[in-house]
Structure 1
Amino acid sequence: MFDILLHHSTLVLFGIIFFGIALGSIKIYGLNLGLSGVLFVALAAGHYRLAIPDGVGQLGLALFVYCVGLSAGNRFFSAIAKQGSKLAIMSAVIVGVSALFTCLFGIWFKVPAGISSGIFAGACTSTPALAAATESLPGASGSGVSIGYGIAYPFGVVGVVLFVQLLPRLLHFDLNKEAKAMHSRQEVSIISRLVRVTQPNLIGQNIADCKLLDGLHCMVTRVVRNDRLMPLTPEDTFREGTEVLIVGNSDTMPHDIAFLGEVCDNPYPMDSQKERRKLILTNKNYAGHKLRDLKTLRTDGIIISRISRLGFTFVPTGETTLERNDVLTVVGTPENLTKYGDKIGHRSQDMNQTDLLSLGFGLSLGIILGLVNFSLGNGAGISLGIAGGPLIVALLLGHFGRLGPIVGYIPRPTRLLLQDLGLVFFLADAGIKGGADLVDTVATHGAAVFIMGVIVTCSGMFAGYFVGMKVFKMNILECLGGICGGMTSTPALGAIASKTDSQAPVVSYATAYPVALILMTIIAKVIIQTIGGVVGI
């Protein structure tokens, strides 16, 4: 009976996940493995030749990177503008140093080029590099690539996971404090202020039609009427001393206040429960229009003070285009709020539902993109793979909100569940494969080859840390995310993601990953030529 259970691949999969999460929850001196515990249990299971269903690893990887991309998309392109060149250089240094140590120790230990290139691919957990090296060395030499990959891959996965977990602890970094400090420096908060209007050019103008407000970054949402903050109506007009409530970003608020008048501190009451609601936009005919063109105060008697899109909340301007599945924070009278909700197709259950049609289509498009082979000349090519394709599609969806019929919106709890589920599926598959031949390959080729893999992995990580923290003065979260991207280590990214709510590591990973992916594929062939000329293939 026990043997039957051990050969039930689905049961083995969820058994590995259960015991792995249990192992990861154990804390030693405040340190725990989190979801990465699944990897260690899977390595042991792979050693004893247990099996899980085929394709689980690819399914998990696609789900994980897709959800990561959706989370990071709204910050990704701005991060490229600010940190893109630094992360690209950091990624190039990681790959370059790893390749250098591969060549040095491959020649020193007289390791054949095939095994050495496999060690490089495994130490950097790069399947595209493995494929490129195997393609360059067909036959028996090509099998040496797989052997080298099998030796180095387990520590390549485990080593980066341990590095990103232990380094902040050893250097006394509190990731939560670092995330808060980074948030306060880089991100703005949404605040509200009560302002007394003194601007002469505004006096006498109808608020609903006042074009002077177009240059502001805030929204006027309420006006003081009968010693109470009331929702605006289409008839409200700016008068000398009119007091209004404005909502905007903390960094632009001083400018907006200076234009309107002056801050006042009168404690007026307001009924926010009845006069403010969150409504989800599902009416496809209403979506796609700019807020300025909709004239919501004039036509509907409401003001949209905030928009939440793919988990990112912002204050709209007249140029903001509404998209399907936007969650709108709307201010108005209860009657107008109800009418507006009907107009935009609001259904409360939609705020917690996932568009499975878009999810399936988005993942399919990403996988197809990952299969496309991009030529590098001389017959060589590169594909983004199952990790790169869905990641690129999700980043675009996260940034634009939709691509044609594909909607990127997934409620946050659902997105986090899919992200974690995908990660543990991927970790279980990676551990099973890495553990299967670990002992045999080390016994056959000696501990020196395993040590070579450890050195290659560590050299790249420490080089990345030095460049990120010492040269570019990055925040530790950005640096760790860049190291994960430079080492193409999805499990390590998952380890960081389980420790902080900050999106900084995810964004850095997504920026550094494509650079590392391309460089590793090219350099794997360079390693073969370099070591092959000295030691042999």
Structure 2
Amino acid sequence: MTFPLSDVALTTLALAVAGALGLLFGKLQVRKIGLGIGGVLFSGILVGHFAAKAGITFDSDVMHFVRELGLILFVYTIGIQVGPSFFASFAKSGLRFNLAAIGIVLGGVVVTLAIYALTDLPLPVLMGVMSGAVTNTPGLGAAQQALGELGLPASEVGFAGMGYAMAYPFGIIGILISMFAVRFLFGITIEREEEAYKLETKSGEAALPALNLEVTNQNLDGVRLGDVPDLFDHGVVASRMKSGGELIVPTRDTVLHLGDSLHMVGPAEKLAAMKLIMGREIDTPLTTKGTKLTWARIVVTKDKILGKSLRELALVEARGVTVSRINRAGVELPAQASSSLAFGDIVTVVGSKPDIDAVALELGNEHARLQEVQFPALFFGIALGVILGSIPLAVPGLSAPLKLGLAGGPLMAAIVLGRLGHWGPFTWYMPPAANHALREFGIVLFLAVVGIVAGDRFFDTLLHGDGIVWMGYGILITLLPLLIVGVIARVFGRFNYLSLCGVLAGSMTDPPALAFAVSMSKTGAASVAYVSVYPLVMFLRILAPQILILILAGAGAGAF
């Protein structure tokens, strides 16, 4: 059909219509549950369906490029967001949460392999159904790229998008069904779980704990504070000290006396050790109110400060200002002498007002810079991710080398770079608003292309083909791992139900499910668990389809 637009203009128009309608469609909710960004997929299917009916075709090379570019932007911005907290997510309860999430991911892989063994489902469809059943769009992108590298034609690779669309709706609903099933099975009441969570986490406080100590150990009378074991360089900071009725900022050279009081900040287990060393805990607050001391939060934005340690900055020695906490991407880190500062860190300092003002100038504290996008770092990071994703990795037992691809490569690079913070002229920090905008733009492009490509065959497959059967397979991949791991985590792991709901939502990287879990309680338990498992799960969800494709293709799955 002749159309009064160029190929590029026609493709742009189709993507824009699919994106606009899909985002509006995704906002429609029933009891706070909606398709979210997945609405773009279904609007793309409609655009592709009606375009096919009208005889309109789109340039396949352009569509392929747009799809891959959207995927790269999406996974890279995710990596930059989670990078600073990725490794911290394995600490303490985060380790339990991640083990449960890994169990759900592996459970989905096992069910997928069972479906392959027992049915004649084509490999592209199977990979699409698996990604849709766990509502993971980057996994679909990784699968499509891996299928393309096997030499499959674009028409066959497109079946992955259809399988994804068939399984996606129940993927969202299935998580909620699992939450309800666990709650019903164990007779759980939300109020009781809230109380248990508050007791477990001491009111759910995620920040570094603090306590006030009085020096009662006679062996410390007349000893320099720098000579006290496990202080300063081992994760515990004495941010304030009251001696002789005066509140001061303690330094290494400050001499202790019996009856002195100190405000200590650090990990709970190290604070408990300090209490054994120094004396007894007291309830008397060491407030700066009414004294010459005050406290403030300062944002690190000065380039020459990046990467320097607190020991190098010597803020206590030079300015009489103590850094008690470092907040990086929402995670509070102990302020050790070896702790280095990264762009966007929020440091809590204690000292006199003039000294704090001087430190603020030294560290930057330029809030406007937090809104600037570091474009050189963005493009360098993407380039590094593309190169990393193209490196073949020989894995024993696989028929071909494994590649992270355009989904895994940029994601892995962004996680590492986000954790690194800066290097040379590059600063890997992205304002939350900019990160969200690029991530949404990328996923809209990707889903719009997937929907449009699948649209010309979707309804025929659903109404006259095997679409309903594919949905059934998707239900199995969604429900079985969630229910099995959910029950095991509750019975043997003694997971708090609110945290368990966060793990279930995070194991599927599903924001609508998280929103539902959060609405059950004001404790924040679900959000904490979701954030703990999200980075690792996202990486595994991207890697799993590629490994499965190589394994199954090597076993003869490539011929279908």
Is structure 2 residue 41 aligned with structure 1 residue 39?
yes
Partner of 1:387: 407
Shift of residue 518, structure 1, vs aligned partner: 3.9
Q: Residues 278-293 of structure 1 correspond to what in structure 2 (within 5 A)?
A: 278-292=297-311
Shift of residue 241, structure 1, vs aligned partner: 0.9
Secondary structure of the residue aligned to 1:70 is helix
Secondary structure of the residue aligned to 2:338 is coil
Secondary structure of the residue aligned to 2:402 is strand
Partner of 2:124: 118
Shift of residue 303, structure 1, vs aligned partner: 0.5
Instruction: State the Cα deviation string for residues 474-498 of structure 1 (Å, max 9, x = none).
Output: 723323433x3xxxxxxx5454466
Among 530, 535, 539, the alignment partner of 1:507 is 535
Q: Which is further off, 118-127 or 388-397?
A: 118-127
Distance in 2, Cα, partners of 1:273 & 1:506: 44
Q: Residues 75-474 of structure 1 correspond to what in structure 2 (within 5 A)?
A: 75-77=85-87, 79=89, 82=95, 87-88=101-102, 90-106=104-120, 116-125=122-131, 126-130=140-144, 145-146=156-157, 148-149=159-160, 151-164=162-175, 167-168=178-179, 181=197, 184=201, 188-207=206-225, 213-214=231-232, 217-224=235-242, 229-232=247-250, 236-267=254-285, 269-271=287-289, 275-292=294-311, 294-376=313-395, 380-402=400-422, 406-441=426-461, 446-447=464-465, 449-473=466-490
Instruction: State the Cα deviation string for residues 444-475 of structure 1 (Å, max 9, x = none).
Output: xx42x323422332222223214422345572
Distance in 2, Cα, partners of 1:427 & 1:175: 36
Instruction: State the Cα deviation string for residues 174-221 of structure 1 (Å, max 9, x = none).
Output: 99989x949939985323333222233332234467565247532111
Instruction: State the Cα deviation string for residues 59-82 of structure 1 (Å, max 9, x = none).
Output: 332233223223333443355683
| CA spacing shift, 1:240–1:351, aligned 2, 3 Å | farther
Shift of residue 129, structure 1, vs aligned partner: 4.5
Distance in 1, Cα, partners of 2:436 & 2:515: 10
Shift of residue 388, structure 1, vs aligned partner: 0.8
Instruction: State the Cα deviation string for residues 413-464 of structure 1 (Å, max 9, x = none).
Output: 4433433443333333333333233134557xx42x3234223322222232
Q: One-letter code of the match for 2:45?
A: L
Shift of residue 24, structure 1, vs aligned partner: 2.9
Distance in 1, Cα, partners of 2:154 & 2:313: 64
Contact in 2 for aligned 1:230/1:270 (Cα 8 Å): no
Partner of 2:135: none
Distance in 2, Cα, partners of 1:426 & 1:174: 41
Shift of residue 521, structure 1, vs aligned partner: 1.8
Contact in 2 for aligned 1:91/1:515 (Cα 8 Å): no
Identity rate, percent: 22
Shift of residue 56, structure 1, vs aligned partner: 4.1
Shift of residue 302, structure 1, vs aligned partner: 0.9
Q: One-letter code of the match for 1:61?
A: L
| CA spacing shift, 1:389–1:405, aligned 2, 3 Å | farther
TM-score when normalising by structure 1: 0.79
Contact in 1 for aligned 2:175/2:478 (Cα 8 Å): no
Distance in 2, Cα, partners of 1:150 & 1:196: 65
Secondary structure of the residue aligned to 1:317 is coil
Secondary structure of the residue aligned to 2:264 is strand
Instruction: State the Cα deviation string for residues 368-397 of structure 1 (Å, max 9, x = none).
Output: 222333345786233222221111112223
TM-score when normalising by structure 2: 0.76
Q: Which runs of 5+ in 1 are unaligned?
A: 107-114, 485-491
Distance in 2, Cα, partners of 1:73 & 1:421: 20
Is structure 2 residue 79 aligned with structure 1 residue 61?
no
Q: One-letter code of the match for 1:68?
A: I
Q: Which is further off, 13-22 or 295-304?
A: 13-22
Q: One-letter code of the match for 1:201?
A: N
Distance in 2, Cα, partners of 1:144 & 1:60: 20
Q: One-letter code of the match for 1:524?
A: L
Partner of 1:112: none
Q: One-letter code of the match for 1:73?
A: G
Q: One-letter code of the match for 1:479?
A: L
Secondary structure of the residue aligned to 1:380 is coil
Distance in 1, Cα, partners of 2:553 & 2:236: 55
Distance in 2, Cα, partners of 1:494 & 1:24: 12
Partner of 1:478: 503
Secondary structure of the residue aligned to 1:244 is strand
Contact in 2 for aligned 1:302/1:331 (Cα 8 Å): yes
Q: Which runs of 5+ in 2 are unaligned?
A: 132-139, 519-526
| CA spacing shift, 1:134–1:265, aligned 2, 3 Å | closer
Contact in 1 for aligned 2:214/2:282 (Cα 8 Å): yes
Distance in 2, Cα, partners of 1:131 & 1:323: 35
Q: Which is further off, 230-239 or 388-397?
A: 230-239
Among 20, 24, 42, the alignment partner of 2:22 is 20
Distance in 2, Cα, partners of 1:63 & 1:147: 21
Q: One-letter code of the match for 1:59?
A: L
Distance in 1, Cα, partners of 2:149 & 2:309: 52
Shift of residue 128, structure 1, vs aligned partner: 4.8
For the aligned residue pairs, the C-alpha RMSD in angstroms reads 4.1
Shift of residue 514, structure 1, vs aligned partner: 5.1
Distance in 2, Cα, partners of 1:387 & 1:128: 5
Is structure 2 residue 54 aligned with structure 1 residue 48?
no
Distance in 1, Cα, partners of 2:481 & 2:39: 25
Secondary structure of the residue aligned to 1:190 is coil
| CA spacing shift, 1:25–1:87, aligned 2, 3 Å | closer
Secondary structure of the residue aligned to 1:213 is coil
Distance in 1, Cα, partners of 2:223 & 2:451: 68
Contact in 1 for aligned 2:178/2:482 (Cα 8 Å): no
- Aligned positions, number: 508
Distance in 2, Cα, partners of 1:194 & 1:466: 45
Q: Which is further off, 308-317 or 75-84?
A: 75-84
| CA spacing shift, 1:130–1:233, aligned 2, 3 Å | closer
Q: Which is further off, 53-62 or 456-465?
A: 53-62
Shift of residue 238, structure 1, vs aligned partner: 1.7
Shift of residue 294, structure 1, vs aligned partner: 4.3
Distance in 1, Cα, partners of 2:417 & 2:505: 25
Distance in 1, Cα, partners of 2:20 & 2:386: 29
Secondary structure of the residue aligned to 1:246 is strand
Secondary structure of the residue aligned to 2:410 is helix
Is structure 2 residue 554 aligned with structure 1 residue 520?
no
Shift of residue 58, structure 1, vs aligned partner: 3.0
Contact in 1 for aligned 2:27/2:36 (Cα 8 Å): yes
Q: One-letter code of the match for 2:417?
A: L
Instruction: State the Cα deviation string for residues 294-322 of structure 1 (Å, max 9, x = none).
Output: 44312221111111223322221233233
Contact in 2 for aligned 1:175/1:477 (Cα 8 Å): no
